[in-house]
Amino acid sequence: MVTNIAAGASTVFRIVLHPTSTGMKTGIVAIANSDSDENPYRFAVQGMALTFAAEIGVLGIDGASIENGDSLPAVADGTDYGSIYANGSSATNTFTVTNSGLAMLYLTNPQIVVVTGDTGDFTVDTGGTATNIAAGSSSTFRVVFAPGTIGTRTGVVTIANSDSDETPYSFAVQGTGLGLLPEMGVLGINGGSIPSGTIRRPSWTVQASVRFVRTASRSPARSQLPTTASPRCISLTP
């Protein structure tokens, strides 16, 4: 860099950022010169110092982000499985481990992913899950909910890894086991369904034949009945 710059000429200089720690670095560049009203000439510089390290993240269903330490399961990210019948039924959700850092991410637990809590209801399937995830890459695993008990079931998924400040990476999962309940129904004649609580009055008719017969009397002249009379029909309705 020359120190004497002729009219209409120029010169160059370079500023190098060589950080010794991570984070934002700032500075002020000052150029002493012979300009009558811009001496010294100043401007600011800055740069972010990054570490050459892995950065873990986890995504649930539909790409929803799951934060480390998340203790509130949600249907939207697949950590809440909703209600499943406890009769051998199950639900499986897939989760994605991402590495947004600059170095290889290692999943360090021999089991790769572990679930604790109601382990009889939650199991992990890591078939095909990579243990070494390159920068900018990802890998998936599955958590299966198959309730064996009625009621709310909970668990915590844990991923041991090489991220310097997020190991282990964990989040909560939950689901509800439903029981199989009997369902009663009543059918009437011709297979017609009768809803519970239905009150119906039956329609019925009773018929009786009555025959009037005159019996002996002390005073026959007072009798108004014939010896026999035709049968009469009486109908009764409710």
Which pLDDT score is estimated for 185? 80
**Res. 187 pLDDT band, cuts 50 70 90:** confident
Q: Give the mean pLDDT of 112-126.
A: 97
Whole-number pLDDT of residue 223: 47
User: Given this model, what pLDDT does residue 207 score?
Assistant: 55
What residue type is 146 in one-letter code? A
Does position 236 have pLDDT exceeding 50, yes or no? Answer: no
Span 83-113, pLDDT tens digits: 999 999 999 999 999 999 999 999 998 899 9
Whether pLDDT at 210 is above 80: no
Average pLDDT of the chain to the nearest whole number: 87
Going by CATH, does the domain composed of 56-178 fall within 2.60.40.10? Answer: yes
Q: What is the pLDDT of residues 33-80, one digit of tens each?
A: 999 999 999 999 999 887 789 999 999 999 999 999 999 999 999 999
Question: What is the per-residue pLDDT for 180?
Answer: 80
Look at the alpha carbons of 200, 201, 205, 210 in this order and tell me if their dihedral is positive or negative.
Answer: positive
At residue 66, the pLDDT reads 98
Compute the half-sphere exposure of residue 6: CA atoms within 13 Å on the CB side of its CA.
1
